[in-house]
Amino acid sequence: MLTKIAYFIARFAAAIIMGQTLYFKFTSSPESIYIFTTVGMEPWGRWLVGILELVAAVTLVIPRTAWLGGALAVGLMIGAIGMHLTVLGIEVMGDKGQLFYYAMIIFLCGLYVVFNNREKIFNEVLPKILNRK
């Protein structure tokens, strides 16, 4: 029971955080423009990451596709965390590291979702993908 509750919380926490940050990406907030300009991906990267985060958030809340949302969230957050650690720094525009910590939370939640779906991924999803011709 505790595992099911933790799984539910992980899925929805990651989806809610990503969903909340979409507003800033899609409305061209100064912080988003600064971040994506600094990493050399403005505006196309901001839009692409926003769309991929939207897909991840939606697939996380659908039980059948949660594994995909978790995997996509992990991949996106590896990029975000990497940019924070190499180009942006932990603190961006005086946010006291809030965006970095959000990325870490999403990353950990996504890992938990993928881990909880490992049997489905290895026994159902990957065999289907690898057997396609």
Domain that holds residue 115: 2-130
Residues with Cβ within 8 Å of 99's Cβ and at least 6 positions away in sequence, in order, are 21, 31, 35, 80, 84, 92
> pTM surpassing 0.85?
yes
- Is the confidence at residue 37, as pLDDT, over 80? yes
In the chain, the number of structural domains is 1
Q: Are the beta carbons of 116 and 3 closer than 8 angstroms?
A: yes
- Is the confidence at residue 133, as pLDDT, over 80? no
Region 100-117: mean pLDDT is 97
